[in-house]
């Protein structure tokens, strides 16, 4: 799977996942902004849509190809398991950092039964997919940055994402911004959240 790995100066590993049209290189910059000393594993999505990279297929805005989502989520999680061995880190201690489509594939990985992924900083997530009710997230820590007036993610959809995590016992911190964006305030709030893990 196409990716880049940037060595760090501390024990933290951030796994950065880009939004539609982004790539591993640009989302790695978000990782560096959050923790300049962390190691960064940044992955390219495997799907192309109109010349733009994504992590899974969709039928339209907010209409996911659920079969492809689940397939790609499993492939990415398997890749992260192998990468944790190659780059010598514990996946359960690593932190997923996703924006938009990257946040959505991160949620898919976290909500898998017995998922080793426990920590995430998710910006502009949207997840309107049925989830196994038996999945619990008592040991998960999730920072959610969401838009009050996001033209892509209605506020009710953001509230649904909050509920997905809180109802399963995750430690959740919510930060509201204006739109479908990553703001300096959200980055600062995510840094504070990360420092308490």
Name the residue with tokens 């039928």. Answer: 59
Q: What is the DSSP letter of 7?
A: -
pLDDT tens by residue, the chain, 197 residues: 999 999 999 999 999 999 999 999 999 999 999 999 999 999 999 999 999 999 999 988 878 999 999 999 999 999 999 999 999 999 999 999 999 999 999 999 999 988 999 999 999 999 999 888 889 999 999 999 999 999 999 999 999 999 999 999 999 999 999 999 999 999 999 999 999 98
- pTM for this entry: 0.96
Fold entry, domain 3-182: Rossmann fold (3.40.50)
Name, in order, each residue with C-beta under 8 angstroms of 61's C-beta and a sequence gap of 6 or more: 152
- pLDDT value of position 61: 80
30, 182 contact by CB (below 8 A): yes
Q: Please tell me whether residue 61 adopts helix, strand or coil conformation.
A: coil
Residue 13: per-residue pLDDT: 98
Distances (CA, A) of 110 to 29, 135, 148, 163, 181: 23, 9, 24, 14, 22
Q: Where are the domains of the chain?
A: 3-182
| pLDDT at residue 168, as a whole number | 95
Q: What distance in Å separates the CA atoms of residue 82 and residue 10, rounded to the nearest whole number?
A: 21
């Amino acid at each position: 799977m196409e990716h880049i790995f940037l060595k760090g100066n501390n024990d933290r590993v951030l796994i950065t996942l880009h939004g539609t049209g982004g790539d591993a290189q640009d989302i790695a910059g978000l990782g560096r902004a959050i923790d300049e000393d962390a190691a960064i594993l940044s992955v390219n999505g495997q799907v192309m849509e109109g010349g733009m990279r994504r992590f899974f297929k969709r039928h339209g805005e907010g209409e996911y190809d659920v079969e492809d989502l689940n397939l790609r989520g499993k492939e990415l999680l398997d890749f992260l398991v192998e990468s944790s061995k190659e780059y010598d880190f514990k996946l359960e201690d690593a932190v997923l950092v996703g924006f938009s489509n990257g946040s959505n594939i991160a949620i898919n990985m976290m909500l898998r039964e017995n998922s080793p992924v426990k920590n995430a900083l998710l910006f502009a997530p949207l997840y309107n997919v049925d989830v196994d009710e038996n999945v619990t997230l008592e040991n998960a820590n999730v920072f959610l940055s969401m838009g009050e007036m996001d033209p892509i993610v209605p506020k009710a959809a953001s509230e649904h994402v909050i509920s997905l995590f809180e109802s399963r016992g995750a430690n959740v911190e919510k930060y509201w911004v204006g739109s479908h964006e990553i703001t300096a305030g959200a980055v600062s709030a995510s840094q504070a959240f990360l420092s308490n893990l």
